[in-house]
Amino acid sequence: MTQKECDIIVYGASGFTGRLVAEYLAQRNMDGEAIKWAMAGRSEEKLAMVRDEIGAPSCTPLIVADANTPQSLKDMAMRTKVVLTTVGPFQFYGSALVAACAESGTDYVDLCGEPAWMREMIDAHELRATQTGARIVFSCGFDSIPFDLGVFVLQEESDQRFGAPCREIKARVRKMKGGFSGGTAASLKATMLAASKDPSLIRLLKTPFALTPDFQGPEQPSGSKPQFDDELGSWLAPFIMAPINTKNVHRSNFLMGHPYGDNFLYSEMLMTGPGDSGEKVAKAVAADQSLMSDDAPKPGEGPSKAERDAGYFDILFIGETEDGKIIKLGVTGDRDPGYGSTSKMIAEAALCLVRDRTNTPGGIWTPAAAMGGALRHRLADKAGLTFEIEK
């Protein structure tokens, strides 16, 4: 392979989620797309086995790269336009790869939901990425694309309809079928372990503005306890992805120059239904610690294809302008959020950087700030997501 011969290299392609991404790209090529892509991981033998099992062409390049061998990551980054990585927890396995991409001017997308590590990478590599033109985009899966883009789309619509952004947006997960990934569980455990050793990380994890250096916005609405919403007629429970999604939404606003306003309010919660049953479920969700248990899914594990295909998500965004005008948006996905939909989202995010948003400058980005409407339309056209204004 010659330098930058690939559009995308899928790093971690022999893992569970990486395999799904590779399978998706292989199918896109079979459907007539001309995507130049490769598979990367620690074992060429495992990569070859996965390549054959998913029906990818035998000529699909296989690249041996290992997080413990930084030079192999540098070599990989030099051979592609975008590195798409599913190898987490990223605080264990991602730092050298971000450094390699920032140095070589190579774009990067991942599935990270680890805000302390993300802030570390911003502080360490944003200046270099800006200089080399590398677009580093974290959180390109269920955390946080549907939420980050949901706010972006609703704010655009509010500006068009009312001539002003929403001062506050509430994201409410109406329905969701499908569990969280083993990578999410592993990342959560790793983050909690790191915070137990370094109290300064606890303060970073608690603030919604952890990813907006030198900017601190207003106190945000709390979604940490069960509550009843009279307007929705439903109990609400804390949503486990809110701590990362809220940080990404506020970083998007920050990166774009605060089009949502510097006093913007944002919250996320899970709807559990009305009455005593809804209250019971909300309290059970609030007390749930299953992702921290030994029984949580492990990296490399995941649901069957039938289970992935039967999954979905449905999120309601409710926006209110400074003068009280209300606007609503529904965002849905047609596969389980942690695997089926996530694998499509990150693949399309990588393709969006290569084909649609070549003018986005180097830096460390969020999906909405880096790709905006181009990613929204790509996901709607290719990846089974919908973004619909509701009455």
Superfamily of the domain at 6-141+345-369 = NAD(P)-binding Rossmann-like Domain (3.40.50.720)
Helices then strands, counting H and E runs in the chain, come out as: 14, 14
- Map out the domains of the chain as residue ranges: 6-141+345-369, 145-336+386-390
Q: Which two tokens stand for residue 193?
A: 């372990």
The identity of residue 330, as a single letter, is G
The pLDDT score that the predictor gives to residue 180 is: 63
Residue 37 CB partners (closer than 8 Å, separation 6+): 6, 7, 8, 9, 10, 22, 25, 29, 60
Q: Using CB atoms within 10 A of its CB, is residue 232 exposed (0-12), middle (13-18) or buried (19+)?
A: middle
Q: Which two tokens stand for residue 65?
A: 């790269």
Cα–Cα–Cα angle for 373, 363, 349, rounded to 5 degrees: 40
The pLDDT score that the predictor gives to residue 3 is: 62
| DSSP type of residue 338 | I
Strand order in the sheet with 234-238: 227-229, 234-238, 265-273, 166-177, 312-321, 326-333, 385-390
The pLDDT score that the predictor gives to residue 1 is: 43
The phi and psi torsions of 183 (rounded to 5 degrees) equal -65, -40
User: What's the CA gap between 154 and 314, in Å, rounded?
Assistant: 15
Q: How many CB atoms lie within 10 A of CB 325?
A: 14
The pLDDT score that the predictor gives to residue 30 is: 80
The pLDDT score that the predictor gives to residue 48 is: 98
Residue 131 CB partners (closer than 8 Å, separation 6+): 362
Instruction: Give the largest CA-CA distance in the chain.
Output: 63
The pLDDT score that the predictor gives to residue 94 is: 97
10-residue stretch averages of pLDDT, the chain, 391 residues long: 82 96 93 91 98 96 97 98 96 97 98 95 98 98 97 98 98 90 74 78 88 97 95 96 96 98 98 97 91 70 89 98 98 96 98 96 98 98 98 85
Q: Are 9 and 37 in contact (CB under 8 A)?
A: yes
The pLDDT score that the predictor gives to residue 181 is: 65
Q: Using CB atoms within 10 A of its CB, is residue 293 exposed (0-12), middle (13-18) or buried (19+)?
A: exposed
Q: Which helix (H) or strand (E) holds 329?
A: strand 326-333
Q: Are 21 and 346 in contact (CB under 8 A)?
A: yes
Task: List, for residues 215-264, the tens digit of each pLDDT value.
Answer: 999 999 999 999 999 999 999 999 999 999 999 999 999 999 999 999 99
The pLDDT score that the predictor gives to residue 386 is: 98
User: What's the CA gap between 239 and 219, in Å, rounded?
Assistant: 19
Task: List, for residues 323-335, the tens digit of each pLDDT value.
Answer: 999 999 999 999 9
